[in-house]
Chains A and B, each alone.
Chain A
């Protein structure tokens, strides 16, 4: 496809379960970002990859959150031992340029509900 693809679109997890969220960026895009968006709020930065290198993970809220992009393309955001406060929409975005200097292309998001 031509856009950023995220899966699953919706995920319901029981508290304590592990979840994995996938992002397929636009082919050839150097930069990949993960954001967390709570209802009625703006997206909050989680982490940034430049190719396969995770250059900034300062936004990850705890060590239960882990992201990887091993081949510089597809990325996975993993949340271990989910808590209710993890309920949010997780947005992935990619950019042709390095850093935050260019336009970001967003996926539709993965809505996580933790019961």
Chain B
């Protein structure tokens, strides 16, 4: 079963625009991570935000976490064609000792040049 649900499922924007993806989850968490996957490739870690953090930045990425609403958002600013990929949120479901990191269904982002 999936813990996280991403919204929207698909997003198409022009280069230079910002892209916002949302993730909702069901149980309490210790941390939430965002990953990126290019077609036919493995997942690449983007950013990790802990449950006691509300916002985190990494380059053009901005992640927010609202534990009261059990939701997170990933903002990519000034998008580039190379940002075209699928983006997944993943949570530990509050169970850090079992290692079960649960992924959502993903948002497919297309950035048109």
Chain A residues within 8 Å of B, Cβ to Cβ: 4, 31, 33, 35, 41-45, 48, 50, 55-56, 58-59, 91, 93, 95, 98-109
Kindly count the residue-residue contacts between A and B in the assembled complex, taking CB atoms under 8 Å apart: 80
Contacts of A55 in B (CB 8 A): 97-99
Partner of A99, one of B44, B97, B103: B97
Tally chain B residues at the interface, Cβ within 8 Å.
Answer: 26
Partner of B98, one of A95, A99, A106: A99
Contact B100 A43 (CB under 8 A): no
Q: Determine, out of B13-21, B58-66, B72-80, B88-96, the stretch whose residues face the partner at the interface.
A: B88-96
Interface of B is mostly: loop
B31 at the interface (CB under 8 A from A): yes
Chain B residues within 8 Å of A, Cβ to Cβ: 2, 4, 30-31, 33, 35, 41-45, 48, 88, 92, 95-106
Partner of A100, one of B35, B41, B95: B95
Contact A42 B105 (CB under 8 A): yes
Closest 9 A/B residue pairs (Cβ): A106-B42, A48-B99, A100-B92, A42-B103, A100-B101, A99-B96, A56-B98, A103-B45, A106-B43
Q: A42-B88, A91-B42, A104-B45 are in contact. Are A33 and B105 (CB under 8 A)?
A: no
